[in-house]
Amino acid sequence: MALTFYWLPQCGTCKQAKKWFDEHNIDYTAIHIVEETPAKETILELIENSGLPAKKFFNTSGIKYREMNMKDKIKDATIEEMAAYLASDGMLIKRPIVTDGEKVTVGFKVEAYEEAWD
């Protein structure tokens, strides 16, 4: 089964992840995270399947995150509210996100990819 790979083509971390998949001959469907931002329901499913706190899905180093003052907005937000924020702008989402429908990884670390996708 091909993986779903949410990415931003100009993102350095995403390029590293894509290169890793290509080198390991792993099939994936690449989805531009800004042009095709996942819906709130999809984000909720990704959060649930990842086992990570919803806050880990935010691109905290991004300009949009700072401009929108997300640090304060998500401090006491529910998972539903956080998913709605994330679905409103793909630039708020930490990338890449990879899923096979069950497992989910956020960001790119070789060790995590070897464990999850190799």
Contact yes or no for 59/74 (Cβ under 8 A): no
Question: Is the full-model pTM beyond 0.85?
Answer: yes
Q: What does the pLDDT average to over 85-91? A: 97
- Pairing state between β 97-99 and 3-7: antiparallel
- Once rounded to an integer, what is the mean pLDDT over residues 11-26? 97
- Terminal alpha carbon distance of the chain: 13
CA atoms within 13 A on the CB side of 91: 10
What pLDDT, on a 0 to 100 scale, did the predictor assign at position 1? Answer: 63
Structural domains of the chain, count: 1
pLDDT tens for each residue of 24-36: 999 999 999 999 9
Q: What is the CATH number of the domain that holds 94?
A: 3.40.30.10
Give the Cβ contact number of residue 72 at 10 Å: 9
Residue 85 has pLDDT above 90, yes or no: yes
Q: Which range marks the domain in which residue 9 is found? A: 3-117
Distance (Å) of CA 28 to CA 21, 67, 98: 8, 32, 9
Determine the average pLDDT of the residues in 95-113.
Answer: 97
Statement: residue 66 has pLDDT above 90: yes
Report percent pLDDT > 70 for the chain.
Answer: 99
Grade residue 2 by pLDDT with cuts at 50, 70 and 90.
Answer: confident
- Distance from C-alpha of 98 to C-alpha of 112, rounded to nearest angstrom: 11
| pLDDT at site 97 | 98
Chain centroid to CA 58: 8
